[in-house]
Structure 1
C-alpha cells in the first residue's frame, strides 16, 4: 500500500468539522497591514511604512525606540535578551517587544532574518510583526500583544483547558501550521511557550520565529529534507532530536505535544528520559495517560505523534479530523 493510500485509509472516517472555508488562504483581516524596518544610527531621516511584503529600511537616531515606546514589564527572557510589554506613546496601544542585546554579527543577522520572515506573513493564527529598530548593541522587534500570555503560562496559572475549548485552539494552531507549510516555512519550535492567547484565551497565535527555516532555495527549488536542528529538544520530533533528516512534519509532531499539554497540563511523556529515547528510536510510542480525553481527540493527537515522519499526516489532513 502506498503512503497516500495509507493516509487515505487512516483519514477515511473523518469529517470536515475543523476545516474552514479556505484554510490555505485563510489570511487575517489585516492582510494589508504595514510594517516598518528601522535601523537606528546617528543619522536621522523620516520613518516610512510599506505594504506587508516589502519591508523598508529607514535610518533613525538611536533614541528613536524610546521616543516611540514606553518600556514596561518583562514578560520573558532568553539567551540574548528580553521580551517586554511596551506602550506606543502616540496612541497608547500596547505591544510586545523582543529586545536582543548583542554585538555579535551572527546573532544580529538571525534577529533580522526573524523579522524579515515575520513581515511576510499574514494569518489570523500568526502574531503580526510591526517594526524592527536596530542600534549599535541592541535590536528591538515590536509585535502585537496577545494579552492572555502564552499557553504555557496560562495553563500553569489556570489549569488545563476543557476539551471543547482546547479543540478550538488546536484547530487554530493547525491552521497556522498549515499556512506556514504552504509557504514552505518550518517553524521548528512549536511549544506551549511559543503559542500566545487573547480574547479571553479563545484566540491562539504562533510566535517566536527565531528557529524558523524556509525550505526553498534562492532559485525557488525545494530542499526537501534538512539536517540542521533548532528548537527545544523536549518538544522536538524524533527525526530532529536524533539527528536524522527532517522536513515540515516536525511541526506536526510538536503540535501534537502542545495539543496534549492544553488538555492535560503536562507533556504526554518525558521526552528526554533514556527509556523514552530508546522507545522512540525503536519507533515505539511511549504509553500515554489520557484521563477523560475522548477517543476522537486521542486519535487526533496520536496521528500527530506518528513516529515515522513519512507516515505522519499533514496539518491539512489533520484539519479534516472531526
Structure 2
C-alpha cells in the first residue's frame, strides 16, 4: 500500500510517502525454533536457485520480492530477495552488501545468484540469498506490541548505531533507515536490512540524490537542498534513526498528528519546519529526550550517539532482555 511519488519536477522516482504499518516488512516471522540460515558465507557458485524451496512470501517492495526459502538438502532457512528486472539500484545493492559483510548488525548476504533461466519462475535476473532474521522487522513488532519501553529502545539504538558505524566506515550510506528496514532476531540482535537505495561514496564530499527513499524518514536537507544545502550523507541516516526511535517510543509515526494521512506537503512541513513531538511528563527520561532532540544544525554523529548516556549508560543485559521479551510476544 506504500505510495510512490512521481513528481514532474523531481529527477528521482523512488520515493515512498507512506508511514509505518503500510511499509515493506516481514508480516509473518518464522517460528523461533526453525533451523537458522548457516553462518558461513559461501562462494556464489556453491548455490543454485534450484537448491531452494520457497516457503512463504516475506515482503514485497519497490526493489523486489523477498521469500522465505529452505535449502532442500540441509533444511536451513534463508531469505531470498529476487530483484526486479532492470532495477537501476540492483548493482548498488549488491555492491553495498558485499562491502558491508562481517558486521553482526547488518543482514548478511550469503550469495548472489542468477535468477533467469533457473526454473524458479523469478521475475528478475538477480537474486540475493540473505540471512533470515527470525523475529521480523521492528515495524511488525511495534504493530503487534505497541510502544517500546526505554530499555528495549536503548538496545535498538545501540545496535543500529553500531551497524551504521560499520557502514559509514566503509563509505556506505543506507538512505532508507526506518522500522521496516531494521530486523530483529529472537536473541535480541538488531540488523540493518534492505540496501535497495544504498550508495557507496567514491570520495569525500560526495552527495546523494535528495529525492530517493521513504519521505516520512527523510532529513530536512534531503527535502530542501536549496535551504539546507548538501549535508554529509551519513547525517541523513542519523536523522532517519532518530525518527525511528521516536516512532518506537510513541507506537506511531511521530512527526504527524495521530491519524493524519501523509502527503508530500504535510511531511515536508513537519520535517523541515515542525517541532519535536511533545512527550508527556514521565514518558521519556532526560537521557532519551536529549538523545532524540531535533536540531538540524547540531545533529550528532554516529560516534557521538554511541557515546551518549542513553546508549553508553544502559544496562546491556536488562536492555537486551527487554528487547527479547518484545520479540517473543510479537
Question: What is the TM-score of this pair, normalised by structure 1?
Answer: 0.72
Aligned-residue RMSD, C-alpha: 2.3
Provide the residue aligned with 2:55 in structure 1: 72
Partner SS for 2:194:
coil
Provide the residue aligned with 2:317 in structure 1: none
Which of 141, 159, 163 in structure 2 is aligned with 1:176? 163
Residues 134 and 140 in structure 1, CA contact (< 8 A), matched pair in contact too:
yes
Provide the residue aligned with 1:151 in structure 2: 138
Provide the residue aligned with 1:82 in structure 2: 65
How far apart, in 1, do the equivalents of 2:245 and 2:170 lie? 23
1:17-75 Cα deviation digits (max 9, x unpaired): xxxxxxxxxxxxxxx953433xxxxxxxxx25xxxxxxxxxxx9xxx40x211101111
Residues 41 and 111 in structure 2, CA contact (< 8 A), matched pair in contact too:
no
Provide the residue aligned with 1:294 in structure 2: 285
Structure 1 segment 187-202 matched on structure 2, within 5 A: 187-200=174-187, 202=188
Residue 168 to residue 245, structure 1, CA distance change in 2 (3 Å): same
Residues 92 and 197 in structure 2, CA contact (< 8 A), matched pair in contact too:
no
Provide the residue aligned with 2:191 in structure 1: 205
Structure 1 segment 228-307 matched on structure 2, within 5 A: 228-243=210-225, 244-246=229-231, 247-270=233-256, 272=263, 274=265, 277-278=268-269, 280-282=271-273, 285-290=275-280, 292-302=283-293, 305-307=294-296
Residue 84 to residue 135, structure 1, CA distance change in 2 (3 Å): closer
Which of 121, 128, 131 in structure 2 is aligned with 1:141? 128
Provide the residue aligned with 2:92 in structure 1: 113
1:122-158 Cα deviation digits (max 9, x unpaired): 2111010011112335221111111110000111012
Runs of 4+ in 1 over 4 A off after TM superposition: 271-276
Residue 159 to residue 274, structure 1, CA distance change in 2 (3 Å): same
Offset at residue 273 of structure 1 (A): 6.9
For structure 1, which runs of at least 5 residues remain unmatched after alignment?
A: 1-31, 38-46, 49-59
Offset at residue 278 of structure 1 (A): 3.7
Between 1 and 2, higher relative CO (CA 8 Å, sep ≥ 6) is seen in 2
Which of 71, 78, 84 in structure 2 is aligned with 1:101? 84
Residues 269 and 288 in structure 1, CA contact (< 8 A), matched pair in contact too:
no
Which of 109, 112, 117 in structure 2 is aligned with 1:129? 109
Residues 35 and 129 in structure 1, CA contact (< 8 A), matched pair in contact too:
no
Offset at residue 228 of structure 1 (A): 4.2
Offset at residue 279 of structure 1 (A): 5.9
Please identify the structure whose Cα radius of gyration is greater. Answer: 1
Offset at residue 265 of structure 1 (A): 1.2
Offset at residue 262 of structure 1 (A): 1.9
Partner SS for 1:261:
helix
Structure 1 or 2: larger strand share? 1
Residue 171 to residue 119, structure 1, CA distance change in 2 (3 Å): same
How far apart, in 1, do the equivalents of 2:248 and 2:56 lie? 26
Residue 235 to residue 276, structure 1, CA distance change in 2 (3 Å): closer
